Amino acid sequence: MSEQLLKGPAAEEALRNYFLSIGYFVVRSCKFRFNRFDVTDVDLWLYGRNSPLSRERVNVDIKNKKTPQALERIFWARGLQIVLDFDGCIVATNDLRPDVREFGLQHRVKVLDGRFLGRLTKSGRSHQDRINEEQLMAELDQSSLGKLGGGLEGALRGQ
């Protein structure tokens, strides 16, 4: 697997672990389906329960690419928040431009920029000793018996 393929999942894992460490329940790569159509996936679905009387649901869109198109991701995350009736949304990007953060603030989208993402992905605290989804699927693929193995990979992916 090339380094480029590892950047996105590594950022998702680091952010997953970060939000877990500050008290959120986190689901990574949660599929959104309408009827029988796969519409999109939510990179991170955060659920926070501060007290018995309050809760917070937040979608996080993560882009850790050479050209992250962060402004476009703000539109996407905000639209997803509205459609799924989340309480808030966050865009995590490796983009460093101050205009991205300003645009996000104007449209009620929190932006975790490249400085934050860079520190987080390099921090040992953001990495836990666990097998991530990509490693699990690769292992299943290597030792799979195909349909004879019961289609475990498909079952895990909800297919």
pLDDT tens digits, one per residue of 46-62:
999 988 899 999 999 99
Cβ atoms 26, 45 nearer than 8 A? yes
- Fold classification of 3-128 is Trna Endonuclease; Chain: A, domain 1 (3.40.1350)
Q: Whose CA is closest to 59, among 71, 75, 72, 47?
A: 47
Position 103 scores a pLDDT of 96
Question: Could you state, in order of their start, the residue ranges of all structural domains in the chain?
Answer: 3-128
Look at residue 144 in the predicted model and tell me its pLDDT. 60
* For the chain, percent of residues with pLDDT exceeding 70: 79
Distance separating alpha carbons of residues 14 and 125, to the nearest angstrom:
9
Alpha-carbon gap, residue 109 to 114, rounded angstroms: 16
- In which band, very low, low, confident or very high, does the pLDDT at 128 lie, cut at 50, 70 and 90? low
Looking at residue 2, what is its pLDDT?
Answer: 39
- 38's CB contacts (< 8 A; 6+ apart) are 31, 32
Mean pLDDT score across all residues of the chain = 84
Closest CA to 43 of 23, 22, 19: 19
